[in-house]
Structures are given as C-alpha cells and as structure tokens.
Amino acid sequence: MLKLYTDAATKGNPGPSGAGILIVGHGDTVELSTPLAVMTNHQAEFQAAALGLQAVIDRGWQHEQVALITDSQIVVDALDKRYAKHFAAEVARIMALADQITLVIPTWQNDHVNRRAHELAQTALHRAEAAS
C-alpha cells in the first residue's frame, strides 16, 4: 500500500497557498512542493489531495491501494461522503482521480504525523508569496 501524505499552507484566508505532497512506497519516496494561487485554506487542502492523487497516477501507480493521509478533517469527511456542499467542484475533481486508482482510503492524522508534507507545503507557500 502506498502512503500519500498531503498538506496545504495558506497565508491569509484567502491568500497565497502551497501544497506539500509526500508519497512513500515501492522502496521509494517522492516529495513535491507546489505553489498554488490565492485561495482559502480549505480549497488549498483539497488541491493538495488532488495533486497527490494525480502524482500517483502520473507515476503509473494507479493499480495500488493508496492511503491518503491528511490533517484536514474536512477533506477526509468530504471524500468519505463523496460530497461537500461548499466544495462540490473540488470533491468532484478528487473523486474523478480517485476513481482511476484501485482503492483510496482517506485518513486523518494530526500534523505531527504529516510533518514532512507540512514542511513541503510551507516551502511552496514561500515560493507562492515570492511570486506574487
């Protein structure tokens, strides 16, 4: 099973944002730090999850089981229900990606477990701030 850790960082709400993604599996570790546009913290968390799932697919790992680990309870709840009233477009995008993967298990963990993804998100946020 692959472990996909995702996190987002936002300065202001809304504000410049960044996504951090860590994929662990196959004896490999993939780290991505992606600056995002101005958005809310929740939008950034959904974006980080989508980017993480896309990274799994891009690497040809869609036939794996994936534990999507995030410190965002709203993301976990929305994916479990396949719905979020105020984030329908974001959930639809993530579900379209998740449906291409054998199994995605959304899992909430506190930010200590998700530390490396958090660091990557902070790095991306700093790059987003510098670009704006």
Q: For the chain, which residues make up each domain, given as ranges?
A: 2-131
The reported pLDDT for the residue numbered 26 is 84
> 2-131: which CATH topology?
Nucleotidyltransferase; domain 5 (3.30.420)
The reported pLDDT for the residue numbered 128 is 96
Q: How far is CA 57 from CA 60, 63, 85, in A?
A: 5, 9, 27
**pTM for this entry:** 0.96
**Which pLDDT tens digits describe the chain residue by residue (132 residues)?**
999 999 999 999 999 999 999 999 989 999 999 999 999 999 999 999 999 999 999 999 999 999 999 999 999 999 999 999 999 999 999 999 999 999 999 999 988 889 999 999 999 999 999 987
Burial state string for 104-127 with b = 16 or more CB within 10 A and e = fewer than 16:
bebebeeeeebbbbbbbbbbbbbb
